[in-house]
Amino acid sequence: MKTASLASLLRGPQAVGLALCMTFALSVHAQQATNAATIQSDTNQQLLQRINELEVKVKQLENKPAAPAPPPAPAPEPQAVETPHINEVAPRLHLNVFGDVGAQVYNHNPDTFYFGSLDLFMTGRISDRVTTLAEVLFIAHNDNTVTPDVERLLLQYHSSDYFTAAIGRYHTGVGYYNSAFNYGAFLETSIDRPFIYAFDDLGGVLPMQDVGVTVTGKIPSGKMGLNYLMEVGNGQSWIPGSETSQNNQDANNSKSINGGLFMRPEAISGLEMGFSVRHDNLSVPGPAVGELISTVHVVYINSDYEILNEGVLVRHVESTGPVFSTSGFYSQLSRRFRSYRPYFRYQYFNAPSNDPVYVYAGPNPYAPADVTKFVGRLNGPSAGIRYDFSEHSALKFQYDRVSLRGLAAQNALSTQLAFTF
Amino acid sequence: MKKITSAVPEFRAVAILAVAATVWWMASIEPVEAAGEPIVVIVNSANPVESLSLGELKKLFLGDRSRWDTGKAVAPVMIGPGATERTAFLKIVCGMNDADLGKYFLQAAFTGKSATPPKEVGSAAAVKSFVAGSPGAIGFVKASDLPAGDTTVKAVKVDTAASDPGYKIKM
């Protein structure tokens, strides 16, 4: 394709028209330039006159006596910059939300994504010594339903460090783990709780919640750092079709009683040792069963290391005489490396197959879905790593290998994203 | 006999792993150096306390002790995150960093404890101002921020006086 020149494009009348247009445009431009020069000259004159006037005024002001300078503004008082660690949503109410989601790969059940829990945790200060604590939980069950649950509702009175009383629905002081960690998975190192402390909503058998009154505090003991706890509640019911936790109506007049003692010696910061003993008379379809739960724990926690060791012994005594003993323990070790925290846990739990109470428990979460009975031996290691990728969120990976009496060993790979805001 | 023979290599492997883990753990221990400027712990002038142990100080700042012997509520205060004296104080007294401190009080609230985190202010002058105005307050400042003759607050010993060579809370 050739490119045509301007001259070849213009012929005869077209060239004359173009010349006329250019002449007209040039004449208009020349006239505008003349007018602009005239206007610019006038403007310059006005500006010079204005400058002269201002110079005169400046000289007049300089000749006047100087006025006293105004006093300097007082330096602002340092203001307190409070950084709340807990979200204040109203003058008396603090709210924290915990959540966790994840995925699991099993060799005994279909692989799945899961929504773990949504936990609304609220505290409020009613007066200098009276506080409230409420926790509303939404958890997904194995049948895929998501149900709301008032996990805790407590009114607390703090008389001193030696006496704090509370009434309402509480997490029991059975063992260390249940007192230190609850549903907020973000606060836990591992993805799940040790099996002996699994919640009854998820197949656990020990009483993790109760409704009643609690008293806690320190015991004057100097550097030994002794503490106590006492709890009286409705206890558990194992009548099929009813809630295990008796929130509104106790099935019998017998109340659960739990007492605990633990020490945090000042000489070894981070060390805690203690035990608890709990008694309850359980309502079951058969003869009444007395239950005695004894726990012991030795834990050591500082910013780098976490060493948890707990053991539990459960005795079920039927009114007709037979005694059934269930035992369990776990050890969990972890160490932090910057934002990473690898961990290892070994756990063991063994309930007799003819236990008069646990035969009514829900399915064992570690067992295949077609195994409906909880009882039996369960043991095995878990290993994982937690990565805190921000101050309020963590990503965890965990491998579990669990042996179950009479069944092939089960393997599971899990991941969890836990957060709080 | 065969079982014992086959178990020997496993035993050696476990022993080697145990020794390696011990060496690795010991190598990871960071010595706490206390060679810089002292950090002085201060209370309200009306507070009769004269000295505290390091353990007591930790309890006061972590909400494990909520009242003084006089019955006044303990009100800990500290300068905000980033200040060198805060970082050193948390490490030496509480064995924590800022993230640990936040998580500690989050977990304390979650477990039903009434512990409230220390109040945070923007400067050493604000720490002194808060302590001077609150009967139950306790805070800390660098020694250079508490000139001799400053009677607005009272410096307390922590095991020993801040001027002693053996004083532990130093930047």
Q: Where are the domains of chain B?
A: 1-30, 39-158
Just give the CATH number of B39-158. Answer: 3.40.190.10
Q: Tell how strand B75-79 and strand B119-121 pair up.
A: parallel
ipTM score for this prediction: 0.73
Per-residue CA distances from B95 to A276, A337, B87, B107, B116 (Å): 29, 15, 10, 16, 18
Domain boundaries, chain A: 87-420
User: Does residue A215 contact residue A195 with C-beta atoms inside 8 Å?
Assistant: no
With CA atoms as reference, the chain B residue closest to A267 would be B55
Q: Rounded to a whole number, what is the distance in Å from the CA of A61 to chain B's nearest CA?
A: 44
Question: A183-196: b or e for each residue (b if 16 or more CB lie within 10 Å)?
Answer: bbbbbbbbbbbbbb
Query: Which residues, including other chains, have CB under 8 Å from residue A381's CB and lie 6 or more apart?
Result: A344, A345, A346, A400, A401
| Alpha carbon distance A134, A170 (integer Å) | 10
With CA atoms as reference, the chain B residue closest to A94 would be B109
Q: Rounded to a whole number, what is the distance in Å from the CA of A187 to chain B's nearest CA?
A: 7
**A86 contact residues in B (CB cutoff 8 A):** 105-106, 109, 117
Are B103 and A187 in contact (CB < 8 Å)? Answer: yes
Side-chain half-sphere exposure of B151, counting CA atoms within 13 A? 2
Q: Rounded to a whole number, what is the distance in Å from the CA of B63 to chain A's nearest CA?
A: 10
Just give the CATH number of A87-420. Answer: 2.40.160.10
With CA atoms as reference, the chain A residue closest to B130 would be A80
A13: pLDDT strictly greater than 60: no
In chain A, residues 122-141 whose CB comes closer than 8 Å to chain B:
123, 128, 131, 133
**B118 contact residues in A (CB cutoff 8 A):** none
**pLDDT tens digits along A118-169:** 999 999 988 888 999 999 999 888 788 888 889 999 999 999 899 999 999 9
**pLDDT tens digits along A261-285:** 999 998 898 999 999 999 999 888 8
Under the banding of pLDDT at 50, 70 and 90, the label for residue A61 is low
Are B105 and A269 in contact (CB < 8 Å)? Answer: no
Under the banding of pLDDT at 50, 70 and 90, the label for residue B44 is very high
Question: B69-105: b or e for each residue (b if 16 or more CB lie within 10 Å)?
Answer: eeeeebbbbbbbeebebbebbbbbbbebeeebbbbbb
User: Does residue B131 contact residue B137 with C-beta atoms inside 8 Å?
Assistant: yes
| Alpha carbon distance B166, B171 (integer Å) | 14
| Alpha carbon distance B76, B94 (integer Å) | 13
With CA atoms as reference, the chain A residue closest to B123 would be A78
Q: Is A199 touching B (CB cutoff 8 A)?
A: no
Rounded to an integer, the average pLDDT of B50-57 is 92
**Mutation to test the A interface, candidates B110, B120, B128, most A Cβ within 10 Å:** B110
Query: Which residues, including other chains, have CB under 8 Å from residue A271's CB and lie 6 or more apart?
Result: A264, A265, A298, A299, A300
Q: Enter the pTM of the model.
A: 0.76
